[in-house]
Structure 1
Amino acid sequence: MKWLMGLLFLGGLLNPPPSSEAILHQQQMRLFGSFLRELEKAYFEGCSLIVFYNSSLSEGQRKIFQPNGKSGEGEHQSLIDVLLTYARNFTKIIFRLKEGLPDILEDTNLNIITRCPVYLTVSSAIEDIHNLFLLANKDWDKYFLSRKHLIFTESPAVDVDNFLRADEINTMTALLILRPSSDSESLQVVTNRPYSMNPPYSASDQLAYTLTTWRGRVLDLSDAHFFPDKLTNFFGYQMRVVTFHFPPRIFMIEEENSFQLYGVDVDVVQALSEALNFSLVYGRPSDNEMWGWEKDAGNWTGLMGDLQHRRADIGVADLYIMESYFAIIDMSIAYDIEYLCFVNLVPGPLPQWMALGLPFLLNAWIAVLISIVAGMVLFVFMVKLGLLSGSESEAPWFHDVANLCLYLYASVMNTTLFREPRASHLRIFTAFWSIAFFILASAYKGSLISFLTVPLEQAPIDTHKQLYEKHIDVGSIGYTLKRVMEKNADRFVRLLALRYQHVPSTDEGLQRTLKGKYSFLESRGFLDYTIAVYYTDKRGRPSLHAMREYIAPFGIGLAYPKYVPYVGKFNRVIRRLTEAGFAKKWMADIILRSKRAKVMASGTDNQAGVTEGPGEISSTNGVIQPLSLDNLQGGFILLGIGLLLSVVAFVFELLAKQICWGTSTVC
């Protein structure tokens, strides 16, 4: 008997019973495992489980709780094995929290090998996983912070609250933290309040709150909704909005210590803030650029750079939804459509001497000239045929061909006929000839008055082919639109991309365009507004013209830092705004407000800088404007040509008379 007691004692020394601490850990893992199994039924069916773990257990405790009592290599610790027995339906990928983990994750693309990944993190001290959660937005899982997360920790409540105060961790919307309760036989299920790191919350407010206490029973979803939509209310969270003055989308009016903002894009952001209860703090791009461009090594300047480096939460300023932007930012769905086109200098009116030919189109002029020539030939033939046939003799004046042509020309010009033919067939011809050209002359004179008083504008450049043939440079702000041009299906747009020249601002681009050696590329809405307000004179004549042919239509949206969780929530609100037609209404209101402001300014200020919109001809107060020499230059030019030809003919007649004097009867 003594030897049996000795063997038992020796066995106890070799295989000591598990400590109370180890047993407690095992119970907690089983509780956590049962909770995981219930969540899998309700929320995670068919998903992949990605496990991160570490443990403070000693080597002896690990050995005791190895499966089947076997001691392993320590890569998969015993408590994790206990936990994972409850997650048999999951596809599992397991990582141990150690120094080389970031490098391992960098070489792993979890987006490819997982389906709706769920992250399970086990760490006795929650501060040990702080750096892991700040590795967000890496290649291994760009949506890490937006995934569903389960964290088991033994840390006290104050450490859990401090963990949730980290900037990026504070944005997580699907997070459950489980920690042992005071009775050690249940788990406290804690979640967070995302976007609660600024007023009205203070440093003393707790960011974590308890959902329920888990004691291992069947999960009743009526008790607690473990993954609610936490973005229906931002509780006054201050969203940093980066923007700049860009009418008619954004009006930024300077005030004493701030600026007043309004415009279509501002109205969209304001509607979002009212719907989701967050406040807005506006600011310009930190480097005073506008949209910005790629400077070096993927770093952007301007508005894009502020979003890329998370110095702002929302970017808004007539932003096109383009593929090239998605490498550095995320964007909303479109709330409006804009067209990208070139603006060119208006050619101005045609020279007034051309007004003489403008009443008729070219084919009408050709028909008139052919009729005159054919009529003269026919009239001469009829006169000569009558003289040869011995019929009633005409006056000697009608025997000269030049006189016959002059006779018909006088009728064309509605001049009184100074001679009349005697033959009936010639009189009938003359009567109908006079009627026809009376009608043509009346129509010509009626239209001629209009073209003399209102100069006809030259046709502006409206196609990319015409712009390419003009041999001028084109461009815009930055080089993003150049890449858009290079990929365009239109061959002439791709050729124009070879002439692309960057300008630092819209003002410089428009000023270069006014000089006639440049064509600025921008959205049609901006160009139409700018031309109407700043580049139209008091008679309603614009000095710039936006081409009808456009490069491409683009949706206008908001921009966000990459992988923020509120994109989907914002999109739902924006979709409702778009379907209700608010964006178009707000744009119409902006145009109406601008026109009213111009009318009020013109009524109180008679300076030359106050202009009217396109097509708004200024009043002449009922005064009839007399025609000037510029209006009548065509008539004087024709008179000059006629006098010059007569002088030339006179000189030739004198020379011919001197050469032929007394030598020949022919001369």
Structure 2
Amino acid sequence: MKQIFKAISEAQPKVRFVSPQMQMLDLGYFSSYDMVRQTIAEFPNLSSIEHFLVITGRENIFIVMKIAKSLRLVNPSTQWLYVLPETQYYSLTNDSRIISLLHEGDNVAFLINATRHSSETNSCSEGGILCYSRELLRALVASLASYATTEQIALKRVAKDEWEEEKLSVSERREILLKHITAGIAKNLGETCDGCMAWKMRSAITWGLKGPTGPSGDEEASMIESGIWQPGTGVELYDPLFTHIKHGFRGKQLTIVSCHAPPWHEIQFDDQGQVVKYSGFIFDIVNELSSRLNFTFSYKVVFPANTVKGFVAEGREPTLDDAVADERSPIWDNMIDLVQQNHVFMAATAMSMSAGRESRVRFTLAVASQPHTFLVAKPRQMSRTLLFLSPFTGKTWLAIFGSTLLVGPALYFIHKASPATELGRGLRPKNVGPKKGGLNRIMNCIWYMYGALMQQGAVQLPTADSGRLVFGIWWIFVMVIVTSYCGNLVAFLTFPRMNPAVTTLGGLLKLRGTMTWGLMRGSELEKLLEDSSVPEFNYLLNKAERHAVVDDALLERVAYDRHVLLERRSRLLILQSLQLKKAGYCSFALATDDFLPEQIGLAMPIQSPYTNLVNKEIRRMQQAGLIDSWFRHAMPRRDRCWVTPQSLATEVNSHSVNLDDMQGSFIVLGIGLVAAFLAAILERCFRCLSIMKARGIIEPFVN
């Protein structure tokens, strides 16, 4: 044994690479199982070692295998090579004790001395360095003679001047000689020198032993002959020594449980109830795992109790049930039971990694993170009936109205007080009295200011410069007002005014008196809110309504009754898409706030030895960007509804002016006509009253 340690630890000459650091442990003679176990357990950095070489006798191999298993040193990530140097050949193939120590996921191989002595058979010959040297020299001479004969024959067929071009190079000659020597050694060395010397290699087949029918259907580990070494032929490998490291599960068929829950995993059936397609984000990951770990799989599909097998028809459009298929359904507990009882290899589902489930199954690394948000009604345009008043605020309109009422009387008094006006009166003939119309009436001045505000001209202008100055200043005022009004009116026609949008969770809580919210009863969000210590989340849970199903009635409440639905973002995106396909327009929008994200992972049995192996492959997919690409491809595509309420508030909506935009103008026109009609009636009534009063008065007759 000391010679073996010396041979594998000393530096060899002409070695072109530096081997990794090697640590050795000499157990000596085994005194007791506990002592050996303690000695191995105290070995430094034992858990970080992945390659183990054990050189021991046949009887001690069972003790070492039990100790390694008890210390959890045997798993799919480690490799154990047991070398049995005893010259008495031992097959190991059918040894029930060895088979019983091989468990699911072990990487174990054996190198067994299969040399037979000459006393056991008459066909064995005595070897030694002299025999090997003689056979090597004989093979060299034979190869040289064979090559020389071949070259002489070729030389006779070509001219001497062409031989320089036709002859083989030095490297080509060397390759031919080596092939001849190897063939000669393989043929003669084994027969003349130690023909019975051999080392056989055995590999354990342990991956994928668990059958689809549970413990009663489990397979037993087995041993295969993976190679042999002989002096003449060297190493001949029929299979890699650690076959599972190279070939994974070796094409083993594993059972995987799943269900229909788009967009994570979708299952489509034909009219006969046969599966025609598996698609979705999770199935993409399973397909990659199958390719990398070399296994095939069959799906065990779990269905809701109230559905038939073909509930997902080929080419069928998604429904509300698809959008809200979540952990409240009993099918998820059924899948967890199958995984927990080790009936399946894994559950290929987008399962939330909750604390309650982690006590029953073992999750892989998170393949996705799904935040929660809430669905609100899409902010709608405000009423456009009074759109013509929108360019100015109420105070601005009041100021304009007041200015019109004030400037009109101011013009009247300035016009009356002006000397130029009095001078104009003196120039009239004596038999003509002062004019009572025009700017000499206060109501006419007010109506003139209103007409100028509407950009309408007048028949008469003031004769005094003071009055004309009032006119000029008023026209400048009107020009500024009208220009500002027209510009703002165009903007209001182009950019619709939206109702205030609820975009954040804080904004929702501020509207607690005017808005309501709800979540699905028994959902993972409800559990996350219950476990949270944040006061806002506690209030959100206490005031939330519990919904049993997502139906049209609930969506109507969200769209028109100031109600909010809290759920996974992915499910709400599906609801948006379904509503768009059904109605042809967008009624909902998603908030910008994300909160309480759920970690999504694949579920495996707690005792499964392959979880770390699957995690390694998932980490590789994440680093390569595959998972991110599959996730983006599986999620709902961008459509007209893929906007946030905040962006909707400033969304440009260029369109032709329609009746909704101009209805306010028609309303004003109608009100004006009705008012004019009523004023005409009142004027007619007053006229009649005046005539009736005039008839009762006796006036003197003048000839």
What is the one-letter code of the residue matched to 2:411? V
Match 2:400 to one of 364, 369, 372: 372
2:611 match: 567
What is the one-letter code of the residue matched to 1:159? S
The one-character-per-residue Cα deviations of 1:112-143 (angstroms, maximum 9, x if unpaired) are xx9779999xx999999x9999xx9xxx9999
Asked if 2 retains the 8 angstrom alpha-carbon contact of 1:293 and 1:302, the reply is no
1:159 match: 96
What does 1:593-604 align with in structure 2 at a 5 Å threshold? none
What does 1:391-402 align with in structure 2 at a 5 Å threshold? 391-393=419-421, 397-398=438-439
What does 1:25-424 align with in structure 2 at a 5 Å threshold? 81=32, 84=35, 88=39, 90-91=41-42, 157=94, 159-160=96-97, 163=100, 169-170=103-104, 172-173=105-106, 192-197=204-209, 207-209=222-224, 230=245, 233-255=248-270, 256-259=272-275, 260-285=277-302, 291-292=326-327, 301-320=333-352, 325-346=357-378, 348-358=380-390, 360=391, 364-366=392-394, 368-369=396-397, 371-373=399-401, 375-376=403-404, 379-380=407-408, 382-383=410-411, 386-387=414-415, 390-393=418-421, 397-398=438-439, 403-417=444-458, 420-422=461-463, 423-424=467-468
> In the superposition, relative to structure 1, how do residues 450 and 176 fare at CA in structure 2: closer, same or farther (>3 Å)?
same
1:461 match: 502
What SS does the aligned partner of 2:362 have? strand
Asked if 2 retains the 8 angstrom alpha-carbon contact of 1:250 and 1:262, the reply is yes
What SS does the aligned partner of 1:157 have? coil
2:135 match: none
C-alpha displacement of 1:429: 1.0
What SS does the aligned partner of 1:353 have? coil
Asked if 2 retains the 8 angstrom alpha-carbon contact of 1:536 and 1:614, the reply is no
The one-character-per-residue Cα deviations of 1:486-523 (angstroms, maximum 9, x if unpaired) are 45586444322124455566668757756747543333
Segment drifting more, 302-311 vs 267-276: 302-311
What is the one-letter code of the residue matched to 1:284? V
2:593 match: 549
- TM-score, length basis structure 1: 0.58
The one-character-per-residue Cα deviations of 1:287-343 (angstroms, maximum 9, x if unpaired) are 659553599xxx972544443443433334444555564333333334445432111
Identity of counterpart residues, as a percentage?
Answer: 16
> In the superposition, relative to structure 1, how do residues 375 and 43 fare at CA in structure 2: closer, same or farther (>3 Å)?
same
> In the superposition, relative to structure 1, how do residues 332 and 426 fare at CA in structure 2: closer, same or farther (>3 Å)?
same
C-alpha displacement of 1:551: 1.6
2:542 match: 498
Q: Distance in 1 between matches of 2:534 and 2:462?
A: 65
1:520 match: 565
Q: Distance in 2 between matches of 1:292 and 1:309?
A: 19
1:53 match: none
Q: Distance in 2 between matches of 1:412 and 1:181?
A: 116
> In the superposition, relative to structure 1, how do residues 355 and 398 fare at CA in structure 2: closer, same or farther (>3 Å)?
same
The one-character-per-residue Cα deviations of 1:586-645 (angstroms, maximum 9, x if unpaired) are 4555579998xxxxxxxxxxxxxxxx8669xxxxxxxx99955x6654345545666788
C-alpha displacement of 1:550: 1.8
Q: Distance in 1 between matches of 2:412 and 2:488?
A: 33
Larger radius of gyration: 2
> In the superposition, relative to structure 1, how do residues 534 and 127 fare at CA in structure 2: closer, same or farther (>3 Å)?
farther
Q: Distance in 2 between matches of 1:313 and 1:418?
A: 97
> In the superposition, relative to structure 1, how do residues 86 and 350 fare at CA in structure 2: closer, same or farther (>3 Å)?
closer
What is the one-letter code of the residue matched to 1:195? W
The one-character-per-residue Cα deviations of 1:56-111 (angstroms, maximum 9, x if unpaired) are xxxxxxxxxxxxxxxxxxxxxx975278369646449xxxxxxxxxxxxxxxxxxx
> In the superposition, relative to structure 1, how do residues 446 and 246 fare at CA in structure 2: closer, same or farther (>3 Å)?
same
> In the superposition, relative to structure 1, how do residues 412 and 525 fare at CA in structure 2: closer, same or farther (>3 Å)?
farther
Q: Distance in 2 between matches of 1:432 and 1:46?
A: 102
What is the one-letter code of the residue matched to 2:664? G
What is the one-letter code of the residue matched to 2:567? E
> In the superposition, relative to structure 1, how do residues 457 and 328 fare at CA in structure 2: closer, same or farther (>3 Å)?
farther
> In the superposition, relative to structure 1, how do residues 279 and 570 fare at CA in structure 2: closer, same or farther (>3 Å)?
same
Q: Distance in 2 between matches of 1:366 and 1:142?
A: 80
Asked if 1 retains the 8 angstrom alpha-carbon contact of 2:525 and 2:567, the reply is no
Asked if 2 retains the 8 angstrom alpha-carbon contact of 1:477 and 1:506, the reply is no
Uncovered stretches (5+) of structure 2, i.e. residues with no partner: 10-19, 83-89, 117-198, 229-238, 307-324, 423-435, 644-654, 694-703
What SS does the aligned partner of 1:301 have? helix
Asked if 2 retains the 8 angstrom alpha-carbon contact of 1:532 and 1:613, the reply is yes
1:107 match: none
C-alpha displacement of 1:432: 0.8
C-alpha displacement of 1:403: 4.8
What is the one-letter code of the residue matched to 1:342? F
How many aligned positions are there?
522
Q: Distance in 2 between matches of 1:439 and 1:164?
A: 94
What SS does the aligned partner of 2:420 have? coil
C-alpha displacement of 1:272: 1.9
Asked if 2 retains the 8 angstrom alpha-carbon contact of 1:473 and 1:519, the reply is yes
Asked if 2 retains the 8 angstrom alpha-carbon contact of 1:177 and 1:190, the reply is yes
> In the superposition, relative to structure 1, how do residues 144 and 563 fare at CA in structure 2: closer, same or farther (>3 Å)?
farther
Q: Distance in 2 between matches of 1:473 and 1:46?
A: 66
1:484 match: 528
Q: Distance in 2 between matches of 1:559 and 1:161?
A: 31
Asked if 2 retains the 8 angstrom alpha-carbon contact of 1:151 and 1:178, the reply is yes
What SS does the aligned partner of 2:664 have? helix
Asked if 2 retains the 8 angstrom alpha-carbon contact of 1:241 and 1:280, the reply is yes
C-alpha displacement of 1:545: 1.9
What SS does the aligned partner of 1:195 have? coil
C-alpha displacement of 1:535: 3.1
1:581 match: 625
Asked if 2 retains the 8 angstrom alpha-carbon contact of 1:177 and 1:189, the reply is yes
What SS does the aligned partner of 1:350 have? coil
Q: Distance in 1 between matches of 2:677 and 2:329?
A: 70
What is the one-letter code of the residue matched to 1:567? T
Q: Distance in 1 between matches of 2:528 and 2:74?
A: 32
Segment drifting more, 636-645 vs 345-354: 636-645
C-alpha displacement of 1:257: 3.1
RMSD over aligned Cα atoms: 6.2
What SS does the aligned partner of 1:521 have? strand
C-alpha displacement of 1:475: 0.9
Match 1:432 to one of 473, 476, 501: 476
The one-character-per-residue Cα deviations of 1:379-423 (angstroms, maximum 9, x if unpaired) are 357536635753433986546665544433334444455654442
Uncovered stretches (5+) of structure 1, i.e. residues with no partner: 1-29, 50-77, 93-113, 214-223, 596-611, 616-623, 663-667
Asked if 2 retains the 8 angstrom alpha-carbon contact of 1:240 and 1:283, the reply is yes
C-alpha displacement of 1:234: 1.9
Q: Distance in 2 between matches of 1:645 and 1:131?
A: 105
What is the one-letter code of the residue matched to 1:532? S
> In the superposition, relative to structure 1, how do residues 131 and 461 fare at CA in structure 2: closer, same or farther (>3 Å)?
farther
What SS does the aligned partner of 2:382 have? coil
1:56 match: none
